[in-house]
Amino acid sequence: VSGTFSGPALPSLGIRRLGPADASVLELLARDDADFDLRADGPARAALSREAAEAHLSDPHVLHWVASRDGAILGSLFCHLLPMRKQPAQELLLYEIGVRSAWRRRGVGRLLVSAMTDWMRATGIVTAWVLADNPGAERFYAACGFGPGSGPAVYLELHL
């Protein structure tokens, strides 16, 4: 889904899905990672190599939308399409969303989620889930229609 959306706070905002030619966008998102994150003073991140970025962006299970205005990227939403072992055969993991710190509370995040849900409707994907890691994000997801998941879950990691 791509297009131009209008709202009272943002006169003109373009939303588009990234494709294989957008490796430079991943570079920018890695460089400015902290500005899209909760802690604006965090470090830059190492970008994928150009080849790895192209492979990542060519993967049909990768869905990545960006919001921009006058050529400047203001927000990003990155999802994984997950194959399941039973019906429904696929669901969507909203892995990461970030809006530049100076552009928050102006509807950018909501428009990115709308691009995702438009794509879900067009594709027949009925479930998306996310792990919210801060109270503001929880309220944002609630405002976008997310509700509590169906079971208790504890987030764990394994590092080798």
Ligand X SMILES: CC(C)(COP(=O)(O)OP(=O)(O)OC[C@H]1O[C@@H](n2cnc3c(N)ncnc32)[C@H](O)[C@@H]1OP(=O)(O)O)[C@@H](O)C(=O)NCCC(=O)NCCS
For ligand X, the binding residues (CB under 6 A) are 36-38, 97-99, 104-110, 132-134, 136-137, 139-140, 143
Total number of residues shown for the chain: 160
Least spacing, CB of residue 124 vs ligand X, in Å: 26
44/143 with CB nearer ligand X = 143
81/111 with CB nearer ligand X = 111
Q: Which two tokens stand for residue 29?
A: 């998102």
**Is the CB of residue 34 less than 8 Å from the CB of residue 45?**
no
Least spacing, CB of residue 61 vs ligand X, in Å: 20
Question: Which secondary-structure segment (H or E) carries 97?
Answer: strand 90-99
**Is the CB of residue 5 less than 8 Å from the CB of residue 13?**
yes
CB atoms inside a 10 Å sphere around CB 91: 16
**Is the CB of residue 115 less than 8 Å from the CB of residue 102?**
no
Q: How far is CA 7 from the centre of its chain?
A: 20
Least spacing, CB of residue 77 vs ligand X, in Å: 8
Least spacing, CB of residue 141 vs ligand X, in Å: 8
61/139 with CB nearer ligand X = 139
Report the residue closest to ligand X, judged by CB: 109
* CA distance linking residue 74 with residue 30, whole number of Å: 14
83/147 with CB nearer ligand X = 147
**Amino acid of residue 42:** G
65/140 with CB nearer ligand X = 140
Least spacing, CB of residue 31 vs ligand X, in Å: 16
